[in-house]
């Protein structure tokens, strides 16, 4: 349960070309989690998209 007035965040990470590696999604999520922690936000969901058509 979140405290009244606390912020909740969802993280969305993606890459869109063959030139990028799957680890770029991991890096994006890690950096976003760090930002949320620094700001006191609670991460409620993480979404990732590998741009597979």
**Which residue ranges make up each domain of the chain?**
10-49
pLDDT at 15: 81
**Residue spans of alpha helices (H) in 1-53:** 23-39
Confidence band for 23, pLDDT divided at 50, 70 and 90 = confident
What is the arithmetic mean of pLDDT over 19-35?
86
Distance CA(9)–CA(41), nearest Å, equals 6
pLDDT at 49: 86
Structure-block tokens of residue 31: 């950096």
Q: Would you say 7 and 35 are in contact if contact means Cβ atoms under 8 Å apart?
A: no
């Amino acid at each position: 349960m979140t405290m009244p007035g606390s912020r909740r965040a969802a993280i969305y990470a993606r890459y869109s070309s063959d030139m990028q590696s799957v680890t770029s999604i991991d890096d994006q999520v890690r950096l976003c989690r760090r930002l949320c922690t620094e700001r006191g936000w609670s991460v409620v969901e993480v979404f990732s998209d590998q741009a597979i058509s």
